[in-house]
């Protein structure tokens, strides 16, 4: 079997998107929860950074420190899932809600770092859990659901980024705004509890298959790493780029990450439509090139309008890279190994989700934010030139 081909089973015309959303409503609430925090946080960066008294480089270092706890949490996520069982999504979403309250009430670099450590650990563990459960639902239903659930994240992200920009214009501070975001996530806990997704039953796997080797997990994880690095770097620094370099106000600055979220939602909804018809390899190839072009446009933009265009193109391209990589790896894994495999590629991939902002901070400190976004563009082009051919080769070797 050629794992680079789209799935032949399933009847995509028989089930509409609303039905797919209903099937995965539990994990979708988890995706929305993560989107609520990161959309809010992205639009708050221009005021959070001076509130805690950090320079660009120090702010980036603070986020880099939090990545250590996040990666550890992801590595241990399969253990948490085994202990919590079908309640994992609800418990981890509740932890995300509690962590969301913390960063807005900090006023020093140390307390901010500790607060964000709590956030990234909760977010990282929840990410592994919800991706593993969506992958299990895909195997059970014979349907592609990953793009749709990641689109839920993007919609929540975009709405909360815009709402945060408006709240800032109205005079509300990070403490009030993040308290509101935490309360919203508390409401989503009820949905994750009402629609639990149990672990897959190993006995339903049929013929036993060995778990994926690192020769597949590493390149697959690195593709996700570049995608999340690009996504989170833009989420965390686009507003600052617009406000500092192009003279945007608070609401105009928030439009940068909001546009990223909106276009990512559009891209992922489109990806949901084509996921059963086009191979993951082909989608990732064109998506990474598109995102790289968008990053370069945003970096060199002379006006706000051109920068908005660049971030929109970046969002459209990067939107489907991680979901397609998760889906590709997930369907090569038997049920009993799926959570483990998702955890391991997440450890590699989500490092980019947290390395992106500090990388941007260090580059911005030395060379400026425009150069930072150019580097992101180059990394996106490397997916097509290097990582994708490596993953394709090892996937085909695995299947003979």
Please give the pLDDT value at position 386.
95
Q: What is the DSSP string of 283-329?
A: HHHHHHHHHHHHHHHHHH-SSHHHHHHHHHHHHHHHTTHHHHHHHHH
Please give the structure tokens belonging to residue 121: 């650990």
| 362 part of a folded domain | yes
Q: What share of the chain in percent tops pLDDT 70?
A: 90
What CA–CA distance (Å, rounded) separates 193 from 13?
30
Q: How confident is the model at residue 205 (pLDDT cuts 50, 70, 90)?
A: very low
Tell the residue number behind the tokens 């241990």, with chain if given.
76
Residue 247 counted as domain residue? yes
Sorted by sequence, the CB contacts under 8 Å of residue 331 that are 6+ apart come out as: 3, 7, 135, 138, 139
The tokens of 199 are what?
């672990």
Q: Please report whether residue 11 resides in a domain.
A: no
In a domain, 77, yes or no: yes
- Is residue 236 scored above 80 in pLDDT? no
Q: Is 67 helix (H, G, I), strand (E, B) or coil?
A: helix
- If you count them, how many residues does the chain have? 400
pLDDT for 288 beyond 60? yes
Q: Are 322 and 353 in contact (CB under 8 A)?
A: no
What tokens appear for 331 in the block? Answer: 């369907």
What is the number of structural domains in the chain?
1
CA distances from 393 to 196, 220, 239, 390 (A): 37, 12, 39, 5
What confidence score (pLDDT) does residue 212 get?
66
Mean pLDDT of all residues in 117-122: 93
Q: What is the pLDDT of residue 15?
A: 54
What are the backbone dihedrals phi and psi of residue 14, each rounded to the nearest 5 degrees, phi first? -85, -20
Percent of all residues in the chain with a pLDDT value above 90, rounded to a whole number = 48
Q: Among candidates 148, 128, 125, which has minimal Cα distance to 138?
A: 148
9 occurs within a structural domain: no
Q: Judge contact between 24 and 134, C-beta under 8 A.
A: yes
pLDDT at 202 over 80: no
Which residue is it, tokens 């394709």?
392
Please report which residue ranges of the chain form alpha helices under DSSP H: 17-23, 25-51, 56-84, 88-100, 109-141, 146-169, 174-194, 214-245, 250-274, 280-300, 304-318, 321-330, 335-367, 369-382, 388-398
The predicted pLDDT at position 66 comes to 82
Q: In this predicted structure, what is the pLDDT of residue 58?
A: 87
Tens-digit pLDDT profile for residues 147-198: 999 899 988 988 998 899 899 999 999 999 999 999 999 999 999 999 887 6
Round to the nearest angstrom and report the end-to-end CA distance of the chain.
Answer: 8
Query: How far, in Å, are 299, 306, 354, 372 from residue 368 at the CA level?
Result: 10, 18, 20, 7
Using alpha carbons only, give the angle 332, 73, 102 rounded to the nearest 5 degrees.
130
Q: How many CA atoms lie within 13 A of 72 on its CB side?
A: 8
pLDDT number for residue 379: 96
Q: What is the DSSP string of 70-120?
A: HHHHHHHHHHHHHHHGGGHHHHHHHHHHHHHTSGGG--SHHHHHHHHHHHH
Spatial neighbors of 18 by CB under 8 A, at least 6 apart, are none
pLDDT tier at 337, thresholds 50, 70, 90: confident
Average pLDDT of the chain to the nearest whole number: 86
CA-CA distance, 16 to 86, in Å (whole number)? Answer: 26
pLDDT tens for 215-235 read 888 999 999 999 988 987 887
Residues 6+ positions from 16 with CB-CB distance below 8 Å: none
pLDDT band at 78 (very low <50, low <70, confident <90, very high): confident
Distance CA 106, CA 383 (A): 38
Average pLDDT on 46-54 reads 93
Of the given ranges (10-24, 101-115, 313-327, 341-355), which has the lowest mean pLDDT?
10-24
> Containing domain of residue 387, as a range?
17-398
Identify whether 12 is part of a domain: no
Query: Higher-confidence residue: 68 or 177?
Result: 177
This prediction's pTM: 0.81
For residue 157, the domain's CATH number is: 1.20.1250.20
Please indicate, yes or no, if residue 8 is contained in any of the structural domains: no
pLDDT at 207 over 50: no
Q: Identify the pLDDT of residue 400.
A: 57
């Amino acid at each position: 079997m050629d794992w680079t081909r789209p799935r032949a089973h399933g009847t995509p015309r028989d089930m509409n998107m609303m039905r797919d959303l209903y099937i995965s409503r539990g994990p979708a609430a988890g995706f929305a929860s993560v989107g609520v925090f990161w959309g809010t946080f992205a639009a708050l960066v221009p005021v959070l950074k001076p509130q805690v008294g950090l320079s660009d480089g120090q702010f980036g270092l603070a986020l880099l420190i939090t990545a250590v706890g996040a990666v550890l949490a992801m590595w241990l996520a399969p253990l948490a899932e085994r202990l919590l069982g079908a309640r994992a999504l609800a418990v981890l979403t509740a932890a995300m809600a509690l962590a969301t309250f913390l960063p807005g009430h900090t006023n020093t670099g140390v307390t901010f770092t500790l607060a964000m450590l709590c956030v990234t650990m909760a977010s990282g563990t929840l990410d592994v859990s919800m991706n593993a459960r969506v992958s299990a639902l895909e195997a059970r239903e014979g349907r592609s659901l990953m793009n749709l659930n990641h689109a839920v994240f993007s919609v929540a992200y975009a709405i909360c980024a815009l709402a945060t920009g408006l709240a800032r214009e109205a005079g509300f501070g990070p403490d009030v705004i993040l308290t509101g975001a935490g309360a919203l996530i508390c409401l989503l806990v009820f949905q994750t509890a009402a629609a639990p997704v149990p672990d897959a039953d190993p006995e339903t796997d049929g013929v036993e298959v060995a778990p994926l080797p690192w020769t597949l997990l590493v390149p697959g994880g690195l593709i996700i790493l570049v995608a999340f690095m690009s996504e989170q770097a833009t989420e965390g620094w686009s507003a600052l780029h617009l406000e500092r370099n192009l003279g945007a106000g608070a609401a105009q600055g928030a439009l940068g990450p909001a546009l990223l979220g909106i276009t990512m939602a559009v891209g992922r909804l489109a990806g949901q439509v084509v996921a059963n018809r086009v191979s993951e390899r082909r989608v990732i190839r064109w998506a990474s090139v598109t995102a790289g072009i968008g990053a370069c446009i945003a970096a060199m933009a002379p006006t706000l309008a051109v920068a908005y265009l660049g971030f929109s193109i970046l969002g459209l391209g990067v939107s489907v890279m991680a979901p397609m990589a998760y889906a590709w790896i997930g369907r090569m894994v038997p049920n009993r190994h799926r959570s483990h495999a998702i955890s391991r590629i997440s450890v590699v991939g989500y490092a980019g989700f947290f390395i992106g902002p500090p990388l941007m901070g260090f580059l911005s400190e030395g060379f400026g934010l425009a150069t930072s976004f150019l580097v992101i563009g180059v990394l996106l082009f490397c997916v097509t030139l290097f990582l994708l051919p490596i993953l394709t080769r090892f996937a085909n070797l695995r299947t003979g």
